[in-house]
Chain A
Amino acid sequence: DAGVIQSPRHEVTEMGQEVTLRCKPISGHNSLFWYRQTMMRGLELLIYFNNNVPIDDSGMPEDRFSAKMPNASFSTLKIQPSEPRDSAVYFCASSLARSEQFFGPGTRLTVL
């Protein structure tokens, strides 16, 4: 099993640019989660999907952030426009119903 796949692993961009992070969940999993991890705020849940439908996006910091899951094997997290305070490690995780979450390796985003 390939596990959760995230791309890119590292992203460096300039303030104001659009950033798109990608995630491929484990095949067969029906829940997908996007997290952000920073030193100051720790691990925060941004949004999660169940059967491709967004269930809870209360953690999305503001309208600059959006997430989609067009099918069961792909999700994107987009930041437009990006700001330096968005610099963080972004994790994607997936799970089966009522089971543990499996995390991807993360995308380290740096906004200059």
Chain B
Amino acid sequence: AQSVTQPDIHITVSEGASLELRCNYSYGATPYLFWYVQSPGQGLQLLLKYFSGDTLVQGIKGFEAEFKRSQSSFNLRKPSVHWSDAAEYFCAVGDMEYGNKLVFGAGTILRVKS
């Protein structure tokens, strides 16, 4: 069965600093990978996705993620964090053989200090 691990429950970074959120997955086949962001009181918004092709994918709001098959990882990065990036971030792996069922990680809460 698929699983997703986000090892960091909370991360605090200074505004303007770089950010990397970790995500490791377990999946037998080629995974479909996603990062979603959730602001307080809101639904989840898709940041970026990886289905195939270039392993470095660009998303919205200046985020990018790199798929590394050898490490079973799909880490999210941003070169310079803005205060508005404070939110909870979820990594997910998709089982496209059974519709679009997603398995989500537990989430990482990002705090941005000024």
Q: Please list the residues of chain A having a beta carbon within 8 angstroms of any beta carbon in chain B.
A: 4, 31, 33, 42-43, 45, 48, 50, 55-56, 91, 93, 95, 97-106
Contact = CB atoms under 8 A, between A and B. Distances in A.
Interface of B: 32, 34, 36, 42-46, 49, 90, 96, 98-104, 106-107
Contacts of B46: 100-102
Nearest to A98: B96
A55 B98 contact: yes
Nearest to A102: B46
Given A103-B44, A105-B43, A106-B43, A45 B101 contact: yes
A98 B95 CA distance: 9
A103 B34 contact: no
A101 B100 CA distance: 8
Contacts of A48: 99, 101
Contact of B100 (A42, A98, A104): A98
B101 A43 contact: no
A18 to B, nearest CB: 25
A97 B106 CA distance: 25
Contacts of B90: 43
